[in-house]
Amino acid sequence: MIDLSDLKAVKEALRAQRIETPSWAFGNSGTRFKVFAQRGVPRSPEEKIADAATVHRFTGIAPSVALHIPWDRVDDYGALTRYAKDLGVEIGAINTNVFQDDDYKLGSVTNPDPGIRRKATDHLLEAISIMDATGSRDLKLWFSDGLNYPGQDDLRDRQDRLAEALREAYDRLGDHQRILLEYKLFEPAFYATDVPDWGTSYAHCVELGPKATVCIDTGHHAPGTNIEFIVAFLLRQGKLGAFDFNSRFYADDDLMAGAADPFQLFRIMYEIVRADALDPSHGINFMLDQCHNIEAKIPAVIRSVLNVQEATAKALLVDRDALRAAQRAGDVLGANAVLMDAFNTDVRPLLAELRTEDGLDPDPVAAYHRSGYQQRIEAERADGQQAGWGA
């Protein structure tokens, strides 16, 4: 049993934690078969930011919101940045979209048509200009590019085209900006995906240079993949730039973080703690990447933030000296028991105490429901075009 009576260092580490929320989590979303509308959904980027600021108000550790372009395109990004600041949050990663235009049916930056490749690369450059205007550090890139049939296009040529577009975007980055290159095992391509795994992303990032890093989406792996090994490897190489936290039981990845396998999330966060990489100064952007299709959106985002926080608290409780001693002694069961002891600790009282000390409600979800915010936005946003996929 772990003693929870004197955990000042653990609390301070938790106070420093930062989790970024995604603007698109607050919009309407669904499956490939149906997008489900909910009451109170934002109609504009400003309303998405207001919802993200609400999540931060109740959790205290979500002070930035990622934007998705063109879904969050506005005329004045300086004004949008000031609006966010007035609400107590800031603009985080800028996410590109080169997967929803008809031109991208056969790919974007890897398309065999040079005109379409130019269009896609210009969009990446536009996103960097938005980073300049908002003060964002991170350019988040995910490409749906791939092939449905053998022989449809040349696999090696597509890697060359990808490298060319990435190089042009990389060379446009400012001194304090960087690329986060995400990967996905499959979908929408059914035969080959151009960035299918962490190794492909890592290889391109190494080729590009120090301002290119890998983004690990926790839902984008084959079943049974040891994600914490990927985390440990990329940390060792200095190439882990960000997470997209979410969960999935089968293929896609839009369940709340920690919903499918909380033990996996704990194991991932232990590797972060073991590398002393939790503090924002280390440079890892801990983002959520989720769409909430049937559950209420703001409570789901709050719950996801709390799930990551709980996994982190448990990771911080691991007795690293005892674990190291057991590992060096070859005590297989003893080493495993050290991890399990931390994972099986109920950290909810500790986190409730932490929030109370910081002037927050000990139960953020219950506090949100009591706040009346949901009822207010449902009334205020009854008219107009709700935001969602493609808007």
Render pLDDT for 145-172 as a digit per residue (tens, 0 to 9): 999 999 999 999 999 999 999 999 999 9
3-state secondary structure of 220: coil
Beta bridge partners of 21: 65
**pLDDT value, residue 5:** 66
Asked if 104 and 112 touch (Cβ cutoff 8 Å), the reply is no
pLDDT in tens, 312-324: 999 999 999 999 9
Residue 361 has pLDDT above 80, yes or no: yes
pLDDT in tens, 61-76: 999 999 999 999 999 9
Round to whole Å and give the CA distance between 310 and 312: 5
Residue 386 has pLDDT above 70, yes or no: yes
Provide the CB-side half-sphere exposure for 211 (13 A, CA): 17
For the beta carbon of residue 18, count every other beta carbon within 10 angstroms: 17
**Separation in Å, CA 121 to CA 98, 167, 173, 209, 282:** 9, 10, 13, 19, 29
**pLDDT value, residue 253:** 80
Round to whole Å and give the CA distance between 225 and 233: 14
Round to whole Å and give the CA distance between 201 and 182: 7
pLDDT over 90, % of the chain = 92
* Dihedrals phi, psi of 148, to nearest 5 degrees: -95, -25
Asked if 175 and 165 touch (Cβ cutoff 8 Å), the reply is no
How does residue 1 score in pLDDT terms, banded at 50, 70 and 90?
low
Provide the CB-side half-sphere exposure for 328 (13 A, CA): 6
- What average pLDDT does range 90-115 have in this prediction? 97
Q: Which two tokens stand for residue 21?
A: 């929320």
Average per-residue pLDDT in the chain? 96
Asked if 71 and 97 touch (Cβ cutoff 8 Å), the reply is yes
3-state secondary structure of 228: helix
Q: Which domains does the chain show, CATH number per domain?
A: 14-309+360-380 (3.20.20.150)
**Separation in Å, CA 308 to CA 15, 38, 259:** 13, 25, 10
Provide the CB-side half-sphere exposure for 359 (13 A, CA): 2
Residue of 127 and 187 predicted with greater confidence: 127
Q: What angle do CA 60, 55, 240 make, to 5 degrees?
A: 70
Residue 373 has pLDDT above 60, yes or no: yes
- What average pLDDT does range 49-62 have in this prediction? 98
Q: Read off the amino acid at residue 164.
A: E
Q: Read off the amino acid at residue 344.
A: N
Round to whole Å and give the CA distance between 242 and 282: 11
Provide the CB-side half-sphere exposure for 345 (13 A, CA): 25
Residue 307 has pLDDT above 90, yes or no: yes
- Nearest CA among 101, 130, 93 for reference residue 117: 101
Q: What angle do CA 28, 32, 36 make, to 5 degrees?
A: 30
